[in-house]
Amino acid sequence: MKKINRCVIMVVMLVLLVSCSSGNSPQSSQVNQGTRFLKNVDITAYQQEIDAIVTGSVDNEYLKAIVADDALTADEMNEFNRRVKQCYAQRGYNFSYDVNSGNSTVSRLDGQSVEVSLEDLDNVTYKCSDDTGYSRLVVKYASAVYNPKNLDLKPYVVKCLIDHGLADQSYSIADYVHDSQQRSGPFEVLDDESADVQKRNQTSVCVRDPLGNVE
């Protein structure tokens, strides 16, 4: 399988916002398995970024329609996802999320390796995910769920780490920026499989949802 990493910086946050589903027949399972969005969100605080996505998208009619009211509903996002999956399927590919990593995954419907058609896959990805604005919109959707007011989350992450005993009282935003980039300090546990599970999970929650809007 070929992993498509365009514009998925924050899609990992969708882990808690989606559920897996599949059809009954083998063909339906191949084409329809994927994610299901569950929440309606207000995107007012992200309007400037959303406008940039609309402007930068070639095939943006559906995108323009669903963001016109400054909100994104779960039904609208599920329909967008269905259209993108159908776009891939019409061109011989299956598109789906890996809800654990947040990456998008693409495979060929004929069972062959995508390595035999990388140039074609790139063209399909641009056509179905990028030109439609989908790959960038899902990032903003996730942001709007966890951070509806588009706040700078760094102070809240630091407070969460301190409040849960994952960092000492002197821990600063500068410390957080350094440690999050270097995977050091409180973030070492995220890469240590032998680390305390509760501590590792709480660190993930502090980074993912410091405002407590979902978890």
pLDDT digits (tens, 9 = 90+) for 118-127: 899 999 999 9
Residue 33 has pLDDT above 70, yes or no: no
Mean pLDDT within 144-160: 95
DSSP codes of every residue in 75-89: HHHHHHHHHHHHHHH
Which one, of 154, 144, 152, lies nearest residue 47 by Cα?
Answer: 144
Residue 205 has pLDDT above 80, yes or no: yes
Residue 103: the pLDDT is 62
Higher pLDDT: 84 or 18? It is: 84
* In the chain, % of residues over pLDDT 70: 80
Convert the pLDDT of each residue in 77-108 to its tens digit: 989 989 999 999 999 999 986 533 456 789 99
Cα–Cα distance between 154 and 174 in angstroms, integer?
A: 9
Identify each DSSP E strand in the chain by its residue range: 2-4, 41-42, 71-72, 93-97, 104-108
**pLDDT band at residue 17, thresholds of 50, 70 and 90?**
very low
Residue 36: the pLDDT is 76
Cα–Cα distance between 79 and 91 in angstroms, integer?
A: 19
Residue 20 has pLDDT above 70, yes or no: no
Could you count the other beta carbons within 10 Å of the beta carbon of residue 42? 14
Residue 35: the pLDDT is 67
**Do residues 2 and 105 lie in contact, with contact meaning Cβ atoms separated by under 8 Å?**
yes
Higher pLDDT: 103 or 214? It is: 214
Could you count the other beta carbons within 10 Å of the beta carbon of residue 98? 16
Residue 99: the pLDDT is 37
Residue 213: the pLDDT is 86
Higher pLDDT: 24 or 101? It is: 101
**Do residues 129 and 104 lie in contact, with contact meaning Cβ atoms separated by under 8 Å?**
yes
* In the chain, % of residues over pLDDT 90: 63
